[in-house]
Amino acid sequence: MIIGVAKEIKNNENRVALTPAGAQELVKRGHEVFIQSTAGEGSGFMDEEYTEAGAKILPTIEATYEKAEMIMKVKEPIEPEYNLIKKDQLVFTYFHFASYEPLTNAMIDSKAICLAYETVEKSDRSLPLLIPMSEVAGRMSIQEGAKYLEKPLKGRGILLGGVPGVRPAKVLILGGGVVGTNAAKMAAGMGADVTIMDLSLPRLRYLDDIMPANVNTFMSNEYNIRELISTHDLIVGAVLIPGAKAPNLITRDMLKEMRPGTVLVDVAVDQGGCIETCEPTTHENPTYIIDDVVHYCVANMPGAVPYTSTLALTNATLPYAIQLANKGWKKACKENKELELGLNIINGDVVYKAVAEAFNLPYTEVSKYLN
């Protein structure tokens, strides 16, 4: 198969969909890999590293889309990319269709095959191509939170791990899923006094078993949240209700109960946030302050660490890309249910129910294409 890797053009997106190591794995299996010049630069991968791995470099985004049978990307296509995508071309990337109708309509019009990272799903309902970014964001939430607790950045001026003779900071994590667990690991490793809250008792039992002694678990409800917010220094929002807006676990009035300089990191901001006063921010301007409480609400946290994020993402996507390249999308999806669930739009038909429902579009069973 001819695989094209385009350079991301979305503002501040430095990740790339394939590393030189990934290119080598595809070339080794007899595929042709074309990389748009400088596509990997933002993540620290130079054109020469790709050519050494057996890939070829193309000068422009147009040439890359023109050549490829399968386009591998990271972010959802944005407007200047819509017209580059061709009929019958396989596009393997994050799409998040349900959140943006113009993209959905453009991909319907393109008649391409859109296989979305975010809906590739394992039989245990986990989302293997979303997990790596949650791992990155969860770990980063503590790094960022610790930084904003510093006085010059308007925090309380408390060191997360304390020092001998001085108590550590208290970290409260709302949601004990992938983000929350990774946040807890980092906070615990830095010596903080950590509490994770979740609604799921089995999850709390599991976390209690595996976490170190400086991590406690606590049932999530309004009463318990109110009890803890006045004594905690860093609060991380990490809840998810799949397909729905995150619930407001911390409401506007609760800010008054927090100490000045408390830091809130709402990782769930991409689902509307679980802190009522959360508004999406960017890496250029990550925080704002309400009632002396620092809010950090960056919607694409992994974007700040493109090296780690690219490797984490491509570790997860490459096995699927190899199946798609080796077998073609039809056979690969027929033989692997996980990949089949990634199919969102084929030849103008919406084959993913939630996307059709989001915009009242006709829904077509994917079996129309896989039989």
Ligand X SMILES: NC(=O)c1ccc[n+]([C@@H]2O[C@H](COP(=O)([O-])OP(=O)(O)OC[C@H]3O[C@@H](n4cnc5c(N)ncnc54)[C@H](O)[C@@H]3O)[C@@H](O)[C@H]2O)c1
Would you say 267 is a known binding-site residue?
yes
Q: How many CB atoms lie within 10 A of CB 319?
A: 12
Looking only at residues 90 through 149 of this chain, which bind ligand X when binding is defined by CB under 6 A?
133-134, 137
Answer whether 302's CB lies under 8 Å from 309's CB. yes
Residue type, 225: I
The single residue among 20, 155, 176, 306 that binds ligand X, judged by CB under 6 A, is 176
Residue 47 is among the residues annotated as catalytic for this protein: no
Q: Which position among 47, 233, 266, 270 bears the catalytic label?
A: 270
**Residue 36 backbone dihedrals phi, psi, to 5 degrees:** -70, 135
Distance of closest approach, residue 244 Cβ to ligand X, in angstroms:
10
The single residue among 270, 338, 340, 349 that binds ligand X, judged by CB under 6 A, is 270
Q: Which position among 96, 233, 295, 349 bears the catalytic label?
A: 96
Stretch that binds ligand X, among 108-116, 174-182, 185-193, 318-326 (CB under 6 A): 174-182
Would you say 299 is a known binding-site residue?
yes
- Comparison of 177 and 328: residue with beta carbon closer to ligand X: 177
- Comparison of 115 and 238: residue with beta carbon closer to ligand X: 238
Distance of closest approach, residue 269 Cβ to ligand X, in angstroms:
5
Looking only at Cα atoms, what is the longest distance across the chain? 69
Count of residues making up the chain: 371
With CB atoms as reference, the residue minimizing the distance to ligand X is: 177
- Comparison of 137 and 158: residue with beta carbon closer to ligand X: 137
- Annotated binding-site members for substrate: 15, 75
Q: Which residues bind ligand X (CB under 6 A)?
A: 133-134, 137, 174-180, 197-200, 203, 220, 238-241, 246-247, 249, 267-271, 299-302
